[in-house]
Amino acid sequence: MKRRVALASLMAAWAIPQFAVTAQEHTSTRDGVYTGRQAARGESSYKMACASCHGPTLQGKGAQMPPLAGPDFVMNWNGQTIGELFERIQSSMPADRPGTLTRDENADIVAFILKSNKLPAGNNDLPSDADALKRIQFDAPKE
């Protein structure tokens, strides 16, 4: 917190706009980057568009349809950005109809995936904006 205060003072002294610094900040999935209501919407969308391939509990169905929850999923995505996960879903899913879901529907599905991986909910919906999603790092849930 002291760093932010000092940084804000320097920015004011140098007349640097605040957005120039905050745009570079990263958030972790451990910080609550989606809401419970968004995850509920995502669960509904998941059931309609994803469950037939990835299973009703996100367990996956073999190598072609990997799990979206559990230790293997977390290990594969840990350290990457939510933007990478989101864009993979946006461009290639559902497999039989890629790109047919809206960005908002996919953000809701990603929120459901985060909830299913025991990552905490927060006060704001996960955005569907590519730049904002690139600043959210997927960090494994704390044990």
77-121 pLDDT, tens digit per residue, is 999 999 999 999 999 999 999 999 999 999 999 999 999 999 999
CA 46 to chain CA mean position, Å: 15
User: What's the pLDDT score for residue 143?
Assistant: 75
Domain ranges of the chain: 27-137
87-88-90-96 Cα dihedral, nearest 10 degrees: 170
Q: Quick count: other Cβ atoms within 10 Å of Cβ 60? A: 18
8-40 pLDDT, tens digit per residue, is 443 343 343 333 334 457 899 999 999 999 999
Measured at the CA of 123, the angle between CA 117 and CA 127, to 5 degrees, comes to: 75
Q: What fold, for 27-137? A: Cytochrome Bc1 Complex; Chain D, domain 2 (1.10.760)
